[in-house]
A and B are shown apart, each in its own frame.
With several copies, the nearest count.
Chain A
């Protein structure tokens, strides 16, 4: 069973923006869509390691800032002709708070 831990307020992330959370398992990028859905992805493009948290969020997709690869944040799969998949993590919003899979959080600090 996944245990979720509160990592911050939804309002800390601008719509169509992202915020980076450092965990023991690496940097996790938490994205907020225009309609307040939230996704958590590894902050590392499988192509050349670009920081996806700096990409442009559109719909439920994000575009890597380095070379414009586009990922579906539901599945983590690269779209179009590009092949690859970015790791996704369980995340949810409850009462305006962002809850992340606790197994990721051993030491945690908001960046």
Chain B
């Protein structure tokens, strides 16, 4: 079991260091020895409610078998009653990742976008973005979206940067009815703005493109169908480009695939937000199946090890690309990561909207 993978420090080192009791300071010292200058970024208490760092809390959740937010606060001596808006979502995330089958997701510990499976807007209305697997849609889906937009007087219909169609300005009371209508048309939605899998952008790939080298669209669809619904420390954007011309802009996504004649280059750690960061190369494989496995494995590694609200590029800066690559390259570790991802998905790969939606027959 990886104890503190997020800093690339081995289990043995940590266990030796923390054998005597409270560990934060000792871990910092070990890190100072191990990482040199990186100690400037040493963990502090995760918020004013506790002096424990994110890393300590996560380690203690594992080693002490803590399985609820109140248990964590009780056992680790939280200084506040009920935590705060900073630690509660982090604890909820750490618990659901650690105990996907036992832990009951705590809606009251979620930011509004995850709690309502949508994105709150400035006037308290919401946006709704139906999934189009890999960006591919159909005339029937376009009509269903058009119908929903008119039925609920949506003030703006807009194509999104994630290759989807957004309905903006939806009233909260309309959400369950709209979900039901879109479900009835065969679409799942929600999570378009979550700290979880967003969309998998694709280019048209070799099925249509004169320079495409692999079928990037179908790989993107396959990845999105496998990964949707999963919660991650922060938003997770994927892209699959059919050739190095990179029309899906895969190299500024959290995880990208760039197809080449010989197969698939998998890259991680890109961003195009406050800063622009180009991905770095993680692995290459001639096999689409292996490409999928690598992506699931690195996603699970990120889920299990990154600090809440760290994007992959930030986690990579702490954990080190070499350490990440070593986990993914080891066949047993990779297979175990994929298996744990699938166990979690057995709970979370489901349409939360369908649970909450109101049959449209009863509506309005």
Contacts and interface: CB of A to CB of B under 8 A. Distances in A.
Of the four ranges (under 10, 10 to 19, 20 to 34, 35 or more), the interface on chain A belongs to 20 to 34
Contact of B107 (A14, A35, A60, A61): A14
Contact of A65 (B81, B83, B112, B211): B112
A68 interface: yes
B120 interface: yes
B89 interface: yes
B107 to A, nearest CB: 7
Most buried by B among A35, A59, A68: A59
Interface in B160-174: 173
A28 B287 CA distance: 40
Interface in B69-100: 80-85, 88-89
Interface string A55-91: 1111111010111101000000000000000000000
Interface in B92-115: 107-112, 115
Nearest to A64: B85
A61 B89 CA distance: 16
Nearest to A61: B84
The 9 closest A-B pairs by CB, nearest first: A63-B85, A16-B108, A65-B112, A56-B85, A51-B124, A59-B81, A54-B112, A66-B210, A34-B82
A106 interface: no
Given A16-B108, A56-B89, A48 B80 contact: no
Interface of A: 14-17, 33-35, 48-51, 54-61, 63, 65-68, 70, 111
Of the four ranges (under 10, 10 to 19, 20 to 34, 35 or more), the interface on chain B belongs to 20 to 34
A44 to B, nearest CB: 9
Contacts of B364: none
Nearest to B109: A56
A55 B82 contact: no
Nearest to A63: B85
Given A70-B85, A111-B173, A54 B116 contact: yes
Contact of B124 (A16, A50, A58, A61): A50
A55 B84 CA distance: 11
Contacts of B158: none
